[in-house]
Chain A
Amino acid sequence: MIISIASGKGGTGKTTVATNLALAVKQGVQLFDCDVEEPNVHLFLHPEITRTEPVNAPVPKIDLEKCTFCKKCMDICQFNALAVLKKDVLVFENLCHSCGGCFEICPENAVIEKDRSLGVIEHGSVKGISFIHGKLSVGQVMVPPIIKKVRSYTDPDMITIIDAPPGTSCPVIAAMKKTDFILLVTEPTPFGFHDLKLAVETVRVLNIPCGLVINRVGIGNDEVNQYARKENIPILMEIPFDKKIAQIYSRGEMIIEKLPEYKEKFEALFKKIVQMIEKNRENNGEEK
């Protein structure tokens, strides 16, 4: 069972919800921090890292002895990463998306695959949670391969919780697709509302059931609530705009360990998610 925690807007509380939810599930849980541009789950849970794995992607290298300068590689490249000149071919590795088009199309087999390092993933564990996060290297921009590498360790017998990156672009899709449930975390402000709508549109395209956590309830307005009703998105949990919670967060501590009433709230949140996933599976079963 895979649950992805996403948001649209950044800083709404994805990591707070993901880490506390993982602790509430207690056993048989994997927590994947897929915000590989700025992972932060480890700052709250302090997992012991036991293994580091590199993530590479292929980029072209041109064998100038074989190259006839026909430009087929340059023409197929959608990212302008190759420049075929009269007697030389330049490769701009930072523009390459590793699609493999140039390797396939070269009639002379002059395009050789070369590995480029994108970043690493780190395995660890903490408090019974199996933890993995990805770390994009400075200067690199290609995020989805790192997220895919983290997610390749999904264990179907466990509960997998994914802390997704903010936004609605390729990295977010990589962290949301082929999951059983998307938990959207938002705040009741105009910014939160604006980006929530974009996130919901994305979730609708992926056709994955979703629910809402509203964080910092008490600020802003009730546009988010009205929208959730209209769109038929269940509000599964509300976290108040509370100084105590802010203090716990600032110290890098877990809400459910410091405020016992939240232990029950996060357990209840998990139960509701499981019910929605099972109901969705039944509905899909009936359609088949």
Chain B
Amino acid sequence: MKIAVTSQGKTLDSQLDPRFGRAAYILVIDTVTLEFEVIDNADNKNAFKGAGIQAAARISDSGAEVLLTGFCGPNAFETLDAAGVKVVNDQTGKIIDVVQKFKQGGAVYAESANKDGHW
């Protein structure tokens, strides 16, 4: 299974980026082989509005089935939900640790956004 993780850097040793739409990078990781693809989110990071929507559309394209992140706003959540991507919020720490923990099972999938929209 492929999962997407918001990341401050481009390797599995990077720290998770708690922001979803404005994360520096999004790593799309194969949970079996740990091979991964790096999505550079730089143009989204500086978007005036709607960063989460665009990031969500990219994750939908990447084929990831699950997103691990810190905070996910209402528009992003709506988009991910429509794309059938499950969201696990409140994640922190090194990417590799977060992925290993996810693989052990028991992840709690969000039923709604855990952050208000930006105005």
Contact = CB atoms under 8 A, between A and B. Distances in A.
A86 interface: yes
Interface stretch (A87-95, A242-250, A279-287): A87-95
Interface range for B: 10 to 19
B49 interface: yes
A95 B50 contact: yes
Contacts of B82: 83, 85, 88, 90
A95 B52 CA distance: 12
Contact of A86 (B49, B54, B83): B83
Contacts of A74: 54, 57
Contact of B57 (A79, A85, A95): A85
B75 interface: yes
- Interface residues of B: mostly helix, strand, loop or mixed? helix
- For A79, A82, A83, A85, which residue has the most chain B Cβ atoms within 10 angstroms? A83
Interface of A: 74, 79-86, 88, 90, 92, 95
B53 interface: yes
A102 to B, nearest CB: 14
B56 interface: yes
Nearest to A92: B75
A83 B78 CA distance: 10
Contact of B47 (A80, A83, A84, A85): A80
In the A-B complex, the 5 residue pairs with the smallest Cβ-Cβ separation, listed nearest first, are A80-B50, A85-B83, A83-B57, A83-B79, A85-B60
A91 to B, nearest CB: 10
B49 A79 contact: yes
B50 A79 contact: yes
Contacts of A86: 60-61, 83
B60 A95 contact: no
Contact of A90 (B48, B49, B61, B79): B79
A238 B61 CA distance: 63
B116 to A, nearest CB: 14
B51 interface: yes
Contacts of B57: 74, 83-85
Contacts of A79: 48-50
Interface string B65-97: 000000000010011001100000000000000
Contacts of A81: 50, 53
8 contacts: A80-B51, A83-B54, A83-B57, A85-B79, A86-B83, A90-B53, A90-B82, A95-B49
A79 B49 CA distance: 6
Nearest to B74: A92
Nearest to A78: B48
A82 B56 CA distance: 11
Contacts of A84: 57
